[in-house]
Amino acid sequence: MINLINCIRSEHIVAATFCLLSTLLGVSAQADLPEALADLCPQVELGEGGRAVNIAQRNKPLITVSSPEYANRLVSFLKNRSEIEHDYVIDGCDARAFLGAKALHEELRVFTTRVNVDNADPDLVFTTDKTFEGFVDFHNRHSTLMMCVKQESGEVIPAILEPTFSIKTMSYQEWILFLRDQEPGTQTVTTSSMFSLNPHATGRFDSFSSRDIQCAEEAMQLFTSELQSLRRQENRLPYAFGRYEEVLILRTCIEDE
């Protein structure tokens, strides 16, 4: 019953429909996971506060495992961060994910990982009331945060944290349907370090660099300034596509790594 209520509370009709069907049919949320996520979440007992962290393993990141309730509180925590501009939906996913991971880790000791969609065909287009067009076009890539959630059944599954668009966590399947509002397609799914602003950077990362922090913060300030100058009525953006001028700082930082 609790799972059904959570499905109904979903903000997006496609994700809500998938959630309801999966719950009623008893489909495992681990089904059809991409290789990058298939063996990422460890089966662990939750500790005090409804969370735990997996034991470090070779080639696997530290990642927090929590109850669904605690994970949803983390979404609210991220949504209320003043340094993260969630209303500038047309761009900035890398900066939002990076600054969100930093806040979760430094203030709550929560370990997340980045989950990235690349080479999407067709483009990632989904509905939102934050633009006049009623949609956002992320072109062929998007990035956000992921942790692990232990269900009532005992199953531990990947949980997507997308506070810009949802008030609760989403399963991977719900998230992909959310990104694929227009039609199904193909994409490459990877994970990357929460400590790196660039989702395609290679190497070992164990801290947030001052350069990345400055870059992400400057990008957020630029987005906020642009947002304030663009809003005309109903607090909606007048267009649905990111423009290179507004994200020049962020893209330059990533490309220079």
Average pLDDT on 131-159 reads 88
- How far, rounded to the nearest angstrom, does the alpha carbon of residue 30 sit from its chain's CA centroid? 18
Does the pTM surpass 0.85? The reply is no
DSSP classification of residue 16: H
For the four alpha carbons of 207, 210, 215 and 216, in that order, the dihedral sign comes to: positive
3-state secondary structure string, 194-254? CCCCCCCCCCCCCCCCHHHHHHHHHHHHHHHHHHHHHCCCCCCECCCECCHHHHHHHHHHH
| Residues 166 and 177 sit within 8 Å (Cβ to Cβ) | no
Q: Which of 81, 63, 33 is nearest to 149 (CA)?
A: 63
The predicted-structure confidence for 58-71, as pLDDT tens digits, reads as follows 566 788 899 999 99
- What is the number of other CB atoms lying within 10 angstroms of the CB of residue 252? 11
Helix (H) or strand (E) holding 72: helix 68-79
The predicted-structure confidence for 154-184, as pLDDT tens digits, reads as follows 889 999 999 998 999 999 988 888 877 656 6
Q: Which domains does the chain have, with CATH numbers?
A: 32-256 (3.10.620.30)
